Amino acid sequence: MVSSNLKEKLKRLPTTPGVYIYEDSGGEIIYVGKAKNLKSRVSSYFGLNLNKNSKTFALVENIHDLRTIEVESELEALILEAELIKKHLPQFNISLKDDKSYLYVGIRPEKVDVDGKPINVPKVETFRKPDTRKFQYHYGPFPDGGTVRQLVRTLRKIFPFRDCSVNKYEKYKKLKAPCLYGHLGLCPAPCVNGMAVLPAYRSNIRTINSILSGKTSKLIKALEKQMKNFASVENFEKAAEIRNTLQKFKYVRQSFRLPGEYIENPYLLDDLARSALEDLVKIIPVLKQIPSRIECYDISNISGKEAVGSMVTAVNGRIEKREYKRFKIRTKNTPDDFYMIFEVLYRRLSHETDKKKTSWGLPSLIVLDGGKGQLSSAMAAMTKLNLNIPMIGLAKKEETVVYYDGVFHEIVPGVNNPGMRLLINLRDESHRFAQRYHHMLRSRKIFGSAE
> What residue spans define the domains of the chain?
4-95, 100-208, 214-263, 272-447
- Which secondary structure element, helix H or strand E, spans residue 432, and what is its range? helix 418-447
Q: What is the pLDDT of residue 315?
A: 94
pLDDT higher than 60, residue 125: yes
Q: Do domains 4-95 and 272-447 have the same CATH topology?
A: no
Convert the pLDDT of each residue in 232-288 to its tens digit: 888 888 787 777 666 655 544 444 566 667 777 788 888 889 999 999 999 999 999
Phi, psi of 68 (to 5 degrees): -130, 150
**How sure is the predictor about 94, in pLDDT bands with cuts at 50, 70 and 90?**
low
Say which residue, 50 or 83, is predicted with more confidence: 83
Report d(CA 288, CA 277) in Å as an integer: 11
pLDDT higher than 90, residue 342: yes
Say which residue, 280 or 148, is predicted with more confidence: 280
SS3 335: coil
CATH 3.30.420.340 for domain 272-447: yes
Residues with Cβ < 8 Å from 7, sequence gap 6 or more? none
- Would you tell me the crossing angle of helices 216-232 and 236-253 to the nearest 10 degrees? 160
pLDDT higher than 60, residue 99: no
* CATH number, span 4-95: 3.40.1440.10
pLDDT-above-70 percentage for the chain: 85
Say which residue, 59 or 151, is predicted with more confidence: 59
Q: What is the pLDDT of residue 254?
A: 46
Report d(CA 363, CA 348) in Å as an integer: 10
Q: Which of 58-72, 85-99, 292-306, 436-450 has the lowest mean pLDDT?
A: 436-450
Q: What is the pLDDT of residue 219?
A: 60
Distances (CA, A) of 43 to 12, 13, 20, 222, 267: 11, 9, 11, 42, 21
**Residue 23: DSSP 8-state:** E
